[in-house]
Amino acid sequence: MLEKKVAIITGGTRGIGLETVKVFKENKASVILFGSREETVNKAIDMLKKEGLEVTGYYPDLNNYKEIEKVVEEIQNQYGHIDILVNNAGISSKGPIENITSEEFKKIMDLNVNAMFNVSKAVIPYMKENGSGVILNTSSMVSIYGQPSGVGYPTSKFAVNGMTKSLARELAPFNIRVNAVAPGVINTDMVKNLPKEVIEPLIKTIPLGRMGEVRDIANAFLFLASNMADYITGVVLSVDGAARS
């Protein structure tokens, strides 16, 4: 589905990002993953190589635009075009507002929103030059309904949705589509570590009767990145087993 496409995936060393790297590679894309540290990037690349999947990786500071610009230029020069960007890097938050410092709130906004802006800004000129492109952002079910604690995370994801919808309108004349995927409760390492008494009541609230798997989200990204979604832009796609209802 993605043959001859070049994709950059941020937050690509674990969880949803890593699974998206795998799914894109299985569908014949050339994939460049971004991670936060050299060791995590190298570990992910080595693991993927053992599975027969060849990728390259970088670990730029996503809040340093000049650094991002340099890396993206290097990728453009190497591959000749950049077709897909998946902005997946992000962190969550928890606790009541009284316990959240301004520094913690800024850190969440920096990675979940500002970094997305920086990488998109660096990639868009090359997509315009190429005459097409796809930008996909990781949102969350809490971007639609909020959450009872940890205000920084849903705030950042509301911003993700706003940027997604606005860039979709701005970039449509250049044949660049912009969409987001809003995962529900997904079976990641973090969730696996939760006690059974927390998980079981959570699953009961999901009409489909199970948590989502990381591949459920990666498949949504695959669909939106592919030509099958050529007339879809400005959408925040909920992938949550109807848990939102």
- List active site positions: 153
Closest alpha carbon to 83 in 30, 41, 160: 30
Give the DSSP per-residue string, 152-210.
HHHHHHHHHHHHHHHHHHHHGGGTEEEEEEEE-SB--HHHHTS-HHHHHHHHHTSTTSS
Its sign, for the CA torsion 228, 232, 234, 236, is negative
78 CB-contact burial (10 Å; exposed 0-12 / middle 13-18 / buried 19+): exposed
Contact criterion met (CB below 8 Å) for 17 and 9: yes
Residues in CB range of 130: below 8 A, 6 or more apart:
81, 82, 83
